[in-house]
Amino acid sequence: MAPVLGVIVGSVRAGRVGPKVARWFVRHAEADGRFDVRVLDLADVVLPLDLSGGDGPDAVAAWAGECDAFVLVTPEYNHGYPASLKLALDSVKHEWRGKPVGFVSYGGMAGGVRAVEQLRQVVAELHMVSVRDAVSFVRVKRAFDADGATPDEVAPDAADRMLGQLATWAGR
């Protein structure tokens, strides 16, 4: 059985681009075939800010518990990652542990890489292993056509390398 890759759509903003970016990556990962790919859209779960638990955190815990590796799809907001993603990471604990994580980031000129650098610090505290290679889309609003395809020639190669590294760590 293929290991399970959990893809988290990190932005929840009205009018967000996140699902388009996630769709591209999910299609790519499914075609790659190394993982059984499952998506968690944070817009679909209610997570209390006071970390008091409940249905939302329970759902994230159950979902994360079934995953062997993760990819966080994150935009860059003011040189950081969105609060929704931090809340999700803080709402669950043991289910993240010992599992590899990669990043698909997007934004303006920097392609979300500053958000990813911050996330690497957070996931280390959760006993996750962040893999080296990541996918990054600059000027994301122009990065995809109406069918969700991208002319970006770097992203597919980066995604392949990242999936390879995730598969290596997920198999340990």
Ligand X SMILES: Cc1cc2nc3c(=O)[nH]c(=O)nc-3n(C[C@H](O)[C@H](O)[C@H](O)COP(=O)(O)O)c2cc1C
Q: By the 8 A CB rule, do 124 and 96 touch?
A: no
Reading phi first (left if > 0) and then psi (alpha if -120 to 50, else beta), residue 30 is in alpha
Among 33, 65, 98, 108, binds ligand X (CB under 6 A): 108
**Amino acid, res. 9:** V
Residues 109-148 that bind ligand X (CB under 6 A): 109-110, 140
How many residues lie near ligand X (CB under 6 A)?
A: 15
Residue (of 110, 107, 129, 150) closest to 18 by Cα position = 107
Among 13, 27, 97, 142, binds ligand X (CB under 6 A): 13
Task: Return the axis-axis angle of helices 55-65 and 83-91, rounded to nearest 10°.
Answer: 80
Residue 16 found at the interface with ligand X (CB under 6 A): yes
Binding mask 59-88 for ligand X (x = CB under 6 A): ----------------xxxxx---------
Residues forming the site for ligand X (CB under 6 A):
11, 13, 16-18, 75-79, 107-110, 140
